[in-house]
């Protein structure tokens, strides 16, 4: 069985490869009129010789307003490292904490920069390999370091204990710097248009409060945070399996709660203290 490819004409007439500026303009102007969604109709109605997926990706990863490209700050690096340790390669989930970044961008940045960086930092911080013996101390120290360096990582008053903190794209667009300064051709495209009337929250969007929480996370201070994040990441790696065995099946949720607790959370903090208590007993 198996599904046919999204471009089920067998690829005949479907253009691949880099997008041209004129194609971008066509796509953007169409979305300006109709809004994102119903991607299958986009190539049909615009005459673009692109498959619907390609159109969607081009929009979400490149043309969508509010996207910031390149130059990841230490704040963002710290967030990515933390969340990657928590959630694994759930780039879309990680991207939801960084509304200005796309999952593709984060994924690329992780693969090309941060993976090596974290590995190096973890090697510096964990020279010994006695896992069980060093676990508790390492965890505490790393957590303390991270908590000290970034007390507002999560916004205690706005985050929920849900495992999916998705920002509201509508709120995001209004509160973020709309068009970062890039000279790439494609970055000039969104500047040609205003996208406010039709901007609607994505189905996966959560509350603006979660977006505020995400933005609060960007209040990281300096390069030390990257090291702290790496320390946290290593501690998370160390305790991941233990935690899940104790707490339950929802690994990402449980770990996220732990993170939230370490940063000074409310209810989640209470729950996670219980979880950590159980964890210590288990270890």
Helix (H, G, I), strand (E, B) or coil at 188: helix
Q: Match 């880099």 to its residue by tokens.
A: 18
Q: Which stretch binds DNA (CB under 7 A): 47-55, 153-161, 248-256, 265-273?
A: 47-55
Residue 50 in contact with DNA, rule: CB under 7 A: yes
- Phi–psi pair at 85, nearest 5 degrees: -65, -35
CB proximity list for 122: less than 8 A, separation 6 or greater: 230, 233, 234, 237
Least distance (Å) between residue 131 CB and DNA: 24
Region binding DNA by CB under 7 A among candidate stretches 90-98, 129-137, 151-159, 267-275: 90-98
Distance (Å, whole) CA 46 – CA 283:
60
Query: How many beta carbons lie within 10 A of that of residue 145, not counting itself?
Result: 20
Q: Based on the shown chain and the rule CB under 7 A, indicate whether residue 13 belongs to the binding site for DNA.
A: no
Rounded to the nearest 10 degrees, the angle between the axes of helix 251-262 and helix 267-282 is 110
Q: Residue 27 CA to chain centroid, in angstroms? A: 25
Site string for DNA, 92-111 (x = CB under 7 A): xx---------xxx-xxx-x
Q: Mask: binding to DNA, 198-217, rule CB under 7 A, as x and -?
A: ----xxx-------------
With beta carbons less than 8 A apart as the criterion, state whether 43 and 49 touch: yes
- Rounded to whole angstroms, the Cα distance separating 189 from 26 reads 10
The CA–CA distances, whole Å, from 218 to 65, 75, 169 equal: 19, 6, 17
In angstroms, the CA 185 to CA 195 distance is: 19
Residue nearer to DNA on the CB measure, 1 or 12 = 1
Q: Does 10 bind DNA (CB under 7 A)?
A: no
Q: Kindly state whether residue 18 participates in binding DNA, applying the rule CB under 7 A.
A: yes
The site map against DNA for 110-139 (x = CB under 7 A) is -xxx--------------------------
For DNA, the closer CB: 4 or 127: 4
* Shortest distance in whole angstroms from residue 251 CB to DNA: 13
Tell the smallest beta-carbon distance from residue 121 to DNA (Å).
Answer: 16
Which spans of this chain sit near DNA (rule: CB under 7 A)?
1-3, 5-6, 11, 15-19, 37-40, 50, 52-54, 56-58, 60-62, 69-70, 89-93, 103-105, 107-109, 111-113, 184, 202-204
């Amino acid at each position: 069985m198996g599904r046919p490819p999204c471009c089920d004409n067998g690829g005949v007439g479907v253009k691949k490869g880099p997008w041209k500026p004129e194609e971008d303009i066509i796509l953007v102007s169409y979305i300006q009129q109709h809004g994102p969604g119903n991607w299958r109709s986009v190539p049909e109605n615009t005459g673009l010789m692109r498959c619907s997926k390609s159109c969607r990706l081009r929009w979400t990863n490149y043309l969508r307003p509010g996207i910031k490209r390149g130059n990841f700050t230490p704040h963002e690096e710290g967030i990515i490292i933390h969340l990657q340790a928590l959630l694994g390669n759930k780039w879309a989930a990680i991207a939801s904490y960084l509304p200005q970044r796309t999952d593709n961008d984060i994924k690329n940045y992780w693969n090309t920069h941060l993976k090596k960086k974290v590995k190096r930092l973890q090697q510096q911080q964990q020279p010994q390999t006695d896992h069980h013996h060093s676990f508790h101390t390492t965890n505490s120290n790393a957590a303390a370091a991270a908590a000290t360096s970034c007390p507002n990582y999560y916004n205690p008053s706005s985050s929920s204990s849900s495992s999916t903190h998705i920002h509201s794209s509508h709120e995001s667009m209004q509160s973020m710097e709309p068009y970062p300064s890039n000279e790439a051709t494609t970055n000039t495209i969104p500047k040609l248009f205003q996208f406010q009337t039709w901007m609607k929250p994505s189905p996966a969007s959560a509350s603006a409060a979660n977006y505020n929480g995400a933005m609060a996370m960007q209040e990281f201070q300096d390069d030390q945070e990257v090291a702290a994040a790496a320390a946290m990441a290593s501690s998370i790696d160390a305790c991941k399996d233990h935690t899940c065995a104790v707490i339950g099946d929802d690994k990402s949720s449980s770990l996220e709660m732990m993170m939230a607790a370490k940063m000074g959370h409310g209810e989640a903090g209470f729950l996670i203290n219980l979880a950590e208590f159980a964890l210590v007993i288990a270890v």
